[in-house]
Structures are given as C-alpha cells and as structure tokens.
Amino acid sequence: MTTFKNQPVLVTGGAGFIGSHIVDALVAAGARVRVLDNFSHGSRDNLAHHGQAVDIIDADIRDPAACARAVAGVTYLFHLAALGSVPRSVEQPILYNDVNVNGTLNVLEAARLAKVTRVIYSSSSSAYGDAPVLPKIESMPPSPKSPYAVTKLVGEHYCRAYSACYGLSTISLRYFNIFGPRQNPHSQYAAVIPAFIEAIRHNRPVTIYGDGEQTRDFCYVANAVHANLLAAACAKPLAGEVVNVACAQRTSLNQMLNLMSEKLEKPVKKNLQDSRLGDVRDSLADISAAEKLLGYRPQVLFAQGLELTLQAYLSPTQ
C-alpha cells in the first residue's frame, strides 16, 4: 500500500465532518496536509488540534484561482467540499448546482493543470434514487430524486470525463449515510443520527419524516476514511470508477431509536411528519465492487459506531 509519509495532499472541505476525519488520518500517516475550506459549514475547531501541522486555505471552490493555489504541488486530492442536505437542495437548487457542480469542475480543472496523481471524489448513494431493488449496486441506472443527488451524480460524470479526456486518475466513492463525531446536530437540516441524539438528550420529541420504518445503510465515519485512503493508495489504474462505501447492513429509524433509547436510558417520544420531497424509502449497499477494487471492508459496524458516536456527543467537551 502506498505510504502517505511526506506526501503533499489536499482535502477540500477538510474542516467538515468527514473531511476533518480524513485530515486526522493523513496527518497521523505523516502526510503534508493542506485544507481548502470556506468554513460556511466546516469548523476550525475540527482542525484546531493539529496546530500548524495543517496548511489551511480559507477560500471557496467556486474560485478557480483559489483552487489552482490549493492544488499546487499536490499528489493526492480528496474532494469533499460540497453543500449537503437533500431538503435544502430542494429549496435552493441554483446554489447547489453552483457549489457542487461548478465547484467540482474548478477542482478537477485545477487538478488536471497541476498534474495531480489522483482525485478521490466524495459522492452519494442518493444518486440511486428510490428504485425498490436492493441492494444498490453500481451497475444500476442512477435515478436521482433531488437537486443534491443530481449534483453529486454530475460530479461523478465529470470525474469519469476528466479521466477519459485528460488521463486524470479519478474515483468516486458513493457514501451511504455516514455518521459519527463532529456531525452538526444543530442545523435544521441536521443528519438523522445527530438530530435524534440531540432531541433525546434534551427530552424533546424526535421528529421522523414518515413512519420510521424507512431503512438506511448507516456507515460509521471511520469506514469512509478507510475507503478514501485505500482509493488514494490503490495501485490499479483508476479512470472514474464508482464504488459504494457502506456496511451492507440495513437498519430502520425505529430500530435505531430503540437502540439509542436503550443506551441513553431515556424514553423516546416520536413526532411523526409527512415524508419530505427527495427522501428515499430504503437504502442498502452492495459493497463487493469496493472490496474487489480497493480491498475495502467496513472496519466499524453500525452498533459499535453508534456506541462511539453516543460517547463522543455525551463527552464533557461536546
């Protein structure tokens, strides 16, 4: 496996939830880490423990000059900068296209001109849409249901096109419901696990959009980090391949709430609301392609990941 020691790497969105965990792993591996982030959603607190060990560029991926500055001399580029949240994308589709599509194109163009060795792109299982067939496998035709999903799928296509046209080595990782410490529980668009923990901790009803029987392939953040490092280190030529990153386990929201209630030793009150536009009913990944191409297997399964997440959110520093 490729060593990252002394390798110059760039993490776009490196102050965010997943990005900051990737930064941690790269710093621990001895890489020379640079972060490009505009801190619209990421937090400097997520990087503060690295002190001067991480070079931070406070800029936006919609700025081509900033992208060019950030990729200079870089070997591996982990592209995570993006706007998340399906519901918010339904409200602001133009903004999502501008950041997630135009921004990704700027990053890829900068990487091409700088002759970056490989771009590892963070995509989303939302590209599959709501087809009833499970598990989701990469050969299925995509059917995005939200502007967010469309933007992530377009990013995959641009990665593949840059490989085909310019020889830039790229790979797209389709994340399935990544969760863990540092995920923001306070936004109105907060991901389900931190939002649920926050509600239970403060004895508030847990808002569920739907009946709670919808299922997700929840994947602890350490698995996403593992997949990113494997993708960068992969000795095989990569030209825009797409692989699922998940645990190949399906858990309903009701099952998850029961587990949280048990571990927190608190009863759960549910506030059931209508399903939201763009939401997917069921999600489960086939991860055999990632295993075959990258040697990926989940390092932390759902129950253990939830335990670690609860510990982090309940720690005195939170």
Going by C-alpha positions, the residue among 123, 132, 136, 149 that lies closest to residue 284 is: 136
| pLDDT, tens digit, 9 for 90 and up, residues 262-315 | 888 888 888 888 888 777 788 999 999 999 999 999 999 999 999 999 999 887
CB 87 within 8 A of CB 277: yes
Beta bridge partners of 9: 33, 76
Instruction: Render 240-281 in DSSP notation, one character per residue.
Output: EEEEEES-S--EEHHHHHHHHHHHHT----EEEEPPPTT--S
Cα–Cα distances (Å) from 280 to 87, 99, 206, 220, 227, in that order, read 12, 23, 19, 20, 24
Name the more confident of 280 and 211. Answer: 211
Using the predicted structure, report yes or no on whether residue 129 has a pLDDT greater than 60.
Answer: yes
pLDDT given at position 77: 98
User: Domain spanning 8-177+219-248+283-299 has what CATH number?
Assistant: 3.40.50.720
Q: Which residue has the tokens 């792109």?
A: 121
Domain boundaries, the chain: 8-177+219-248+283-299
pLDDT digits (tens, 9 = 90+) for 46-82: 999 999 999 999 999 999 999 999 999 999 999 999 9
Instruction: Map residue 175 onto helix, strand or coil.
Output: strand
- Please give the pLDDT value at position 188: 62
**Burial class of 192 by CB neighbour count within 10 A (0 to 12, 13 to 18, 19+):** buried
Task: Give the chain's mean pLDDT.
Answer: 94
Q: What Å distances lie between residue 313 and 169, 173, 244, 316, CA to CA?
A: 38, 27, 27, 8
**Active-site residues: which are they?**
148
Does pLDDT of 316 surpass 70?
Answer: no
